[in-house]
Amino acid sequence: VIGLLVFQSTSQATEIDLDQKIPLYKEITYGKLENGLTYYIKKNSSPKEKATIHLIVKAGSLMEDDDQLGLAHLIEHMVFNGTKNFPKNEIDKYFNSIGLSIGADFNAFTGYETTVYKFNIPTEKKEFIEKGIHILSEISNFANLDDESFDKERKIVEEEWRTDLGKDKRLFDEIKKYYYLNSKFSKRTPIGDINIIRNFSYETAIRFYNDWYRPDLMAVIAVGDFDSKYVESLIKKFFSNIKAKGNRSSPEATIPKYNKTIFLTLADPEQKESLIIIDNKNKKLKLETIKDVKNSYIRNFCLSIIQKRLSSSLQDKKTPLIDAFIWNFDLTSENEFYSYGAFLKEKEIKEGIDFLLAELERVKQNGFLPKELEIEKKDTISLHEQSIKSEKTEKSDSLVAEYTRNFLENEFVSGPKEEYKIVKKLLPTITVSDLNNHFLNWFKYDDRIVSILLPEKIKDVISEKEFINIEKKVKKYKLSQFKSLYKDELLIKDDLPGSKIIFTKKYPSINTREFRLENGIRVFLKPTKNEEKSFTFEAISMGGYSHANLIDLQSAKILNDVILESSL
Tens digit of each residue's pLDDT (9 = 90 or more) over 30-83: 999 999 999 999 999 988 999 999 999 999 999 999 999 999 999 999 999 999
Mean pLDDT of the chain: 91
Residue 495 lies in a domain: no
Kindly state whether residues 266 and 182 are assigned to the same domain: no
The tens digit of pLDDT for each residue in 162-203 reads 988 888 888 888 999 999 999 999 999 999 999 999 999 999
Kindly state whether residues 157 and 119 are assigned to the same domain: yes
Q: Looking at residue 7, what is its pLDDT?
A: 35
Assign 555 a pLDDT band (cuts: 50, 70, 90): confident
Specify the CATH number for the domain of residue 99: 3.30.830.10
Residue 22 lies in a domain: no
Q: Which residue intervals of 314-368 are DSSP H helices?
A: 349-366
At 545, is the secondary structure helix, strand, or coil? helix
If you write DSSP's letter for every residue of 31-89 in order, what string do you get?
A: EE-TTS-EEEEEE--SSTTEEEEEEEES-SGGG--TT-TTHHHHHHHHGGG-BSSS-TT
Domain hosting residue 541, numbered range: 501-565
Q: Looking at residue 1, what is its pLDDT?
A: 30
Kindly state whether residues 235 and 303 are assigned to the same domain: no
Write phi, then psi, for 506 (nearest 5 degrees). -105, 145
Kindly state whether residues 80 and 191 are assigned to the same domain: yes
Residue 4 has pLDDT above 60, yes or no: no
The tens digit of pLDDT for each residue in 167-178 reads 888 888 899 999
Residue 382 has pLDDT above 60, yes or no: yes
Kindly state whether residues 332 and 464 are assigned to the same domain: yes
Residue 249 lies in a domain: no
Kindly state whether residues 466 and 536 are assigned to the same domain: no
Q: Looking at residue 530, what is its pLDDT?
A: 66
Residue 70, CA atoms < 13 Å, CB-side half-sphere = 20
Kindly state whether residues 461 and 540 are assigned to the same domain: no
Residue 6 has pLDDT above 60, yes or no: no
Give the residue from 185, 207, 239 where a domain finishes.
239
Alpha-carbon distances of 199 from 67, 70, 143, 154, rounded to whole Å: 10, 12, 21, 9
| % the chain with pLDDT above 90 | 75
Kindly state whether residues 283 and 419 are assigned to the same domain: yes
Count the domains in the chain: 3
Residue 237, CA atoms < 13 Å, CB-side half-sphere = 13
54 forms bridges with which residues in the sheet? 118, 221
Kindly state whether residues 283 and 219 are assigned to the same domain: no
The tens digit of pLDDT for each residue in 101-155 reads 988 899 999 999 999 999 999 999 999 999 999 999 999 999 999 999 999 999 9
Assign 2 a pLDDT band (cuts: 50, 70, 90): very low
Write phi, then psi, for 320 (nearest 5 degrees). -80, 25
Residue 136 lies in a domain: yes
Kindly state whether residues 66 and 168 are assigned to the same domain: yes
Residue 18 lies in a domain: no
Residue 110 lies in a domain: yes
Kindly state whether residues 151 and 267 are assigned to the same domain: no
Residue 315 lies in a domain: yes
The tens digit of pLDDT for each residue in 255-281 reads 999 999 999 999 888 888 999 999 999
Residue 531 lies in a domain: yes
When mean pLDDT is compared over 159-163, 168-172, 282-286, the highest value belongs to: 282-286
Kindly state whether residues 445 and 396 are assigned to the same domain: yes
Asked if residue 51 lies in contact with residue 224, where contact means CB atoms within 8 angstroms, the answer is yes
The tens digit of pLDDT for each residue in 302-326 reads 999 999 999 999 988 789 999 999 9
Q: pTM for this one?
A: 0.86
| % the chain with pLDDT above 70 | 95
Asked if residue 326 lies in contact with residue 303, where contact means CB atoms within 8 angstroms, the answer is yes
